[in-house]
Structure formats: structure tokens, C-alpha cells
Amino acid sequence: MLKLFEVSGYKCFDEKITLDFSDARDYQFNTDCINDGFIGKMIIYGKNAIGKTVFSNALVDVGAHIWGNSGRPINDIYYLNPNGSIGYAEFRYVFQFGNEQVEYKYRKLDRQKPIYEKVSINGNILFEYDTSDAEGCNISGLKEMSPTLILNFENVSSVLGYVAANTPLSPDSPLRKTMDYIERMFYAPVGDAGFAPQLLISSVFKDDEALLEFENFLKASGINESLIMLKDNDGKDRIYFNTSQPIPFDSTASSGTKTLYNLFIAFKLAEIKSTSLLVLDEFDAFYHFELAEHIVKLLQKLKSTQVVFTSHNTNLLSNRFMRPDCLFVMTKNKLTSLPNATKRELREGHNLEKLYMSGEFDE
């Protein structure tokens, strides 16, 4: 599980902003929002242009750092914060696997220029590498773990990635579990109708049961259409609306319906691939508030996946399907859970949206 995430110096975040997944309270309702004692499902609420999308990108930056991609659009022309008070972007991830903890910190000058990396396991430094001081780096832990590993990192984009790829690690190794978690992180820009192309049909819609599940999902969302899978002239299977003259889904569905398709694809891929962290940025941009609730409840079924939603829909600030410790408000360089934003003891009967609108959670 991801226990803690911090970022600073990245785009609009000059100062450090922290998201603590371990700050789960003892609420006895909506317990499916909690995974093994950590926050498993959360909604980050914030006004327009406050940094929700930037923060979403930052959460999955580690995938781009290690492997060069993270399942998200690459738009990092302006990577560093323009104020430049620290001169680099710093990312810190703390992972927890049972009683074992792995901390991974790195700094970059832009998306392709790492300058520093540090990995600690249970408080013990595995390595600390600074490109400006290669001779003074601490790699004694690496030498002990893998005596035959060539410790030359001059042309390596990620030391952690290099170590994991060139060191035999047991499945129970905390380092292997960390790499596995990172590999299964996924950013889903569901508001982009081009996110989930038809080529994903072969991996998600493997049988009629999956297509029926998607059809029922649309009907539950208020779209009463029947679907059918047909093979086109190019030999590829594609979804059609099952009318007297079948109509291709991808070219005729509305923008809102296509985003529902994107969400369903993200949900099914999370099931199939056991996604570790699913980030859904402003997932409800096209939706009525009841549909947004329906989608949150659907994704709560992903028991082993930590899901982060971002939204500006205050209706989602509710104890009907969420809980206060899983609801966060983003302000400038600050991310605060509702219990930490007020001195009031929040209870199940409280109207969180009304409290928010009255200024209860203001800084």
C-alpha cells in the first residue's frame, strides 16, 4: 500500500504538499473506503485551477521516472515550479507491506533529468545517489544486497529501476513489492474521450459477459441502449449500438457516454491487472451528481486498489457513501482531510457539504 506521498518544486507546487494515506480514523461506517488500515478510496475536492490535475500527475510521476511512461499524457514542458525556490522537483513515496516499509525519494530538473535518488528499507539506507557527488554517494547497502551488481549509474535514468532490473529479488522482497506496486499504478484521464481506444476491446471485452456488464453499467447510468460486438472489415471487433441498423459506438456516442466507456475500461483493467493505485482526475466533469455517486460506489468494489478521485462537485462531500477521513480539500500548497480541517468532531449524521459551504473547513 502507498502510505505517504509528498511533492514539492513541481509545477504549481513550490512548497511541500503531503497526502497521508495512513491517517484513517475509527469511523464505523463506509468501511469499504479503508484498505488494511490505510485510506483506500478518497476524493480530493478543490476549486478550479487549484492544482488537482497537477497533483494527480505528480502521484504517478514515479512510473515516468523509472520506465519513461506512467499511463498519463506527457505535458511536462514546464516541469519545475516557476518560483524556483528549491531549484528542483522532489518526490517522496512511502510504501508499507505488512511490517516492512520502503521509502523512495528522488529529485529531477525536468521529466528526463534525475539528479538524486534515495531508497531506505525499514529505516536502513539501501542507497543514496547524487549525480553532483557520485564519489560521495552511499551505496554500501547495494554492495551488501547484490555484490556482483555493476555499480555504474552514469547513464542510468533511474537507479532504483536499474537495481530492480539487474538484481534477482524474491517475490517477498520489499523492494520487489515496491516495484510491483509502482508498475501497477494507473492514471486515467477519463474526461478525455480519446483515452480508451477501441484497441482495448480485446483485453477487456473478452466475452459476452463483459459486454453485458458494460451495457448494464450504461443503463444504471441512465443510458438505455443495447450493445453488440461486430467484426469490421479490418477483422477487428468493435462495439455497436444494437439497433435495426447497428451503429458504431466509437463514432456516434456522446462525449458523456464515451467518458462512461473510459471509466468502465479503467474499472475493468483495474480488476484484470489488480491495479495498485488508480487516479481518476475530475472523473465527473460530464456527469449529473447522481451519476457521479454511482461511479464512486462502483469503484469502491475494487477492494485491493487504492483509488484517488479529484472533483469540484461538492455533492460528493457526503457520508452517504464516503467518510470524513477519506474526503480532502485542496487549497494552495495544502491538502487537508475534513477531520483535520476543523475542531468539530465530525459524525455520520453531519451534512459535510453544508458545513463546507458555510466555511467550516476553510483555512
Same domain, 222 and 327: no
The predicted pLDDT at position 333 comes to: 79
Same domain, 20 and 115: yes
Is there a domain that residue 290 lies in? yes
The closest alpha carbon to 53, from 13, 82, 16, belongs to: 13
Q: Looking at the structure, do residues 231 and 89 belong to the same domain, yes or no? A: no
pLDDT the model gives residue 7: 97
Looking at the structure, tell me whether residues 254 and 314 fall in a common domain: no
Statement to judge: residues 288 and 323 lie in one domain: yes
- Domain enclosing residue 51, as ranges: 2-184+274-357
Q: Which of 241, 263, 285 is the last residue of a domain?
A: 263
6 and 65 in a single domain? The answer is yes
Instruction: Determine the Cα–Cα distance for residues 4 and 343; give it in Å rounded to an integer.
Output: 24
Segments in the chain below pLDDT 50: 70-73, 193, 195
- Specify the pLDDT at position 133: 82
The reported pTM is 0.90
pLDDT of residue 327: 97
Residue 334 sits in the same domain as residue 217: no
Q: Please, what is the Cα angle at 219 between 197 and 235, to 5 degrees?
A: 35
In a domain, 362, yes or no: no
pLDDT of residue 263: 85
* Beta-strand runs (E) in 184-292: 185-188, 227-231, 237-241, 247-248, 277-280
Are 131 and 256 found together in one domain?
A: no
For 11, half-sphere exposure in the C-beta direction (CA atoms, 13 angstrom radius) is 20
Verify that 343 and 210 share a domain, yes or no: no
Residue 269 lies in a domain: no
Residues 214 and 318 in one domain: no
**Do both 161 and 220 map to the same domain?**
no
Q: Domain boundary at 239, 263, 287, which?
A: 263
Co-location of 180 and 204 in the same domain: no
- At residue 194, the pLDDT reads 54
- Domain count for the chain, please give it: 2
Is residue 136 one of the residues assigned to a domain? yes
